[in-house]
Amino acid sequence: MIGLGTATTQLDTSVNIAFPAITKGFDISISDIQWVVICYVLTYASLLLALGRIGDTVGHAIIFRIGLIWSTAALLLVSYSPSFGAMLFFRFLQGVGAALVLSCSAALVVSLYGEEQRSRALGMYAMMLSVGLMLGPLLGGALTAAWSWPAVFWFRVPLAVGALLMLRGMPASSQRRQAADRFDILGGVSLVLGLVTMLLALNRLRELSAIWFGILSAVAFAAFISRESRAARPIIALEILRQPGFALLNLVSVLANLAAFSVWLLVPYFLARAPDYTLTESGIILATAAAGAVLAAPIGGRIAGQHLSTERLAIAGAAAIGCGLLLLGAWTEQTPMILRIVGLAVQGVGLGLFQLAYSDIVIAALPLKDRGVAGSLVLLTRTLGTVAAASVVLVTFEMLNIQYGFLAGFQKTFQLAALLAFFAAGLLAVSRRRIGDPNSKI
């Protein structure tokens, strides 16, 4: 039921396939289509931590249910957008719904399994997220071909409604609220403002406006830190953020996801140049990256903490991402399909293992009462990595493409992405500070 609910957010990868139809339907330029992504991603990413804290306060199941109801309405509104401007506003509303659902989903999954089964529960959760990412492009193409772009939105409505019906037996809250458990509104506003401007700065790295967004972000985060240092119940305890090992772990997550997301940015262009592949075949090949994560996450959940420590599993996952990207960096026009699939699958397996281990470490490091914040932090660093990749990877490829041509630029970009993943693994390997989990050495 939780997996069905989170599918309403993860299946948003189907929207990418509908971009040409949206562009044609609203008679807009290709450059304008980026706002369909920006309005959605910036909204849910900036709200995750704040809503995670609200979920810790009022109950995770309540926030999750509200998110499903909100998402149902927003998806219907986007489907019937009368103009492009209206669509962008409705995408903002959809982002709010996604934040409500995602901010408490990990905490709900762990609560169903119990602490002794935490790693296994997170493995199943990571698998659910990856299934949505894998199915999105495959379903999006078929739905757009049959019913045009609105279908990539309204087909998720039955999923949200079905998840709501299945949640009827779940208690609204298993937590005992205390008088001090109040949401810090001023802290939440400064946090959201800081995250929004930081994401805009990452998105606008090639423009002068990135500097101003960066300054605004720094000011907002300074206000957030000042506020939270005096709050009775901060949104996230600043003491844990000051620990070098914990800060490094979250930086590594951003770097690993930045490197891994290069696959979704550049591989479609390579496959589009291959005359032997149809659009359907290209989609299937690309989906093997997510399939690798689907297979690896539950396996990692079984071995984490029992046969292999979570920090070593995270290192192995980041290194596997690098190995897969190196294989992609060796592609040529003559590379057999099986070798292309292997490279994508290895990268996907590495990402699945890393995300599972990282989630387990972060959730174990924060107090039990902060599970919503912990799960939200995991998703936030993942989103920061993907947003940064959209600027960093594309700028790098464009520069190398101009200098060396498409194929050599493609290869060198993935080789650099592989180095970044290996660097992330190295950062974890040399760190030996504990951050709260007795089994963790990071």
Domain identity same for 169 and 301: no
Residues 13 and 127 in one domain: yes
pLDDT over 90 for what percent of the chain?
32
SS (HEC) of the chain: CHHHHHHHHHHHHHHHHCHHHHHHHHCCCHHHHHHHHHHHHHHHHHHHHHHHHHHHHHCHHHHHHHHHHHHHHHHHHHHCCCCHHHHHHHHHHHHHHHHHHHHHHHHHHHHHHCHHHHHHHHHHHHHHHHHHHHHHHHHHHHHHHHHCCCHHHHCCHHHHHHHHHHHHHCCCCCCCCCCCCCCCHHHHHHHHHHHHHHHHHHHCCCCCHHHHHHHHHHHHHHHHHHHHCCCCCCCCCHHHHHCHHHHHHHHHHHHHHHHHHHHHHHHHHHHHCCCCCCHHHHHHHHHHHHHHHHHHHHHHHHHECCCECHHHHHHHHHHHHHHHHHHHCCCCCCCCHHHHHHHHHHHHHHHHHHHHHHHHHHHHHCCHHHHHHHHHHHHHHHHHHHHHHHHHHHHHHHHHHHHHCHHHHHHHHHHHHHHHHHHHHHHHHHCCCCCCCCCCCC
The whole-number pLDDT of residue 248 equals: 87
Decide if pLDDT at 172 tops 70. no
Residue 283 has a pLDDT of 72
Report the pLDDT value the prediction gives residue 169, as an integer from 0 to 100: 66
Domain check: are 290 and 345 in the same one?
A: yes
Overall average pLDDT of the 54-83 stretch: 93
Specify the pLDDT at position 280: 67
Higher per-residue confidence, 65 vs 264: 65
Residue 287 pLDDT > 90: no
Lowest-pLDDT choice from 85-89, 198-202, 272-276: 272-276
Query: 215 and 277: one domain?
Result: no
pLDDT score of 306: 67
Burial of 56 (0-12, 13-18, 19+ CB in 10 A): buried
> Which CATH number characterizes residue 20's domain?
1.20.1250.20
pLDDT-derived band of residue 135, with 50, 70 and 90 as boundaries? confident
Query: Which of 84 and 435 is assigned the larger pLDDT?
Result: 84
Is 120 in the same domain as 206? no
Mean pLDDT, rounded, of the chain: 84
Categorize the per-residue pLDDT at 257 as very low, low, confident or very high, splitting at 50, 70 and 90.
very high
* pLDDT in the model for residue 436: 43
Instruction: Place 171 in a pLDDT band, splitting at 50, 70 and 90.
Output: low
Question: Does 344 score more than 50 pLDDT?
Answer: yes
**Judgement on whether residues 67 and 207 belong to the same structural domain of the protein:** no
More confident residue, 298 or 62: 62
Q: What is the model's pLDDT at position 432? A: 54
The arithmetic mean of pLDDT across residues 95-115, rounded, is: 86
Do 410 and 301 reside in the same domain of the chain?
Answer: yes
pLDDT at 160: 92
* 336, two tokens: 């057999």
Our count of domains for the chain comes to: 3
pLDDT of residue 181: 59
pLDDT at 30 over 70: no
Look at residue 437 in the predicted model and tell me its pLDDT.
45
Most confident of 205-214, 246-255, 322-331: 322-331
Task: Indicate whether 353 and 329 sit together in one domain.
Answer: yes
Same domain, 152 and 279: no
354-377 per-position pLDDT tens digit: 988 888 888 887 777 777 787 788
Quick check: 269 pLDDT over 60? yes
pLDDT in tens, 314-331: 999 999 999 999 999 999
Q: How far apart are CA 211 and CA 213, in angstroms?
A: 5
Q: Indicate if the pLDDT at residue 225 is higher than 60.
A: yes
pLDDT of residue 413: 94
- What pLDDT, on the 0 to 100 scale, is given for residue 385? 87
User: Among 393, 298, 288, 391, which Cα is nearest to 347's?
Assistant: 288
How would residue 230 be classed by pLDDT, with cut points 50, 70 and 90? Answer: confident
pLDDT at position 20 is 80
pLDDT of residue 298: 80
Residues 197, 250 within the same domain = no
Q: What percent of the chain has pLDDT over 70?
A: 91
The domain of 249 spans: 237-442
pTM of the model: 0.80
Q: Which residue has the higher pLDDT, 395 or 433?
A: 395
State whether 114 and 262 are in the same domain: no
**What integer pLDDT is reported at residue 325 of this predicted model?**
97
Q: In the prediction, which pLDDT does 423 show?
A: 96
The verdict on 214 and 329 lying in the same domain is no
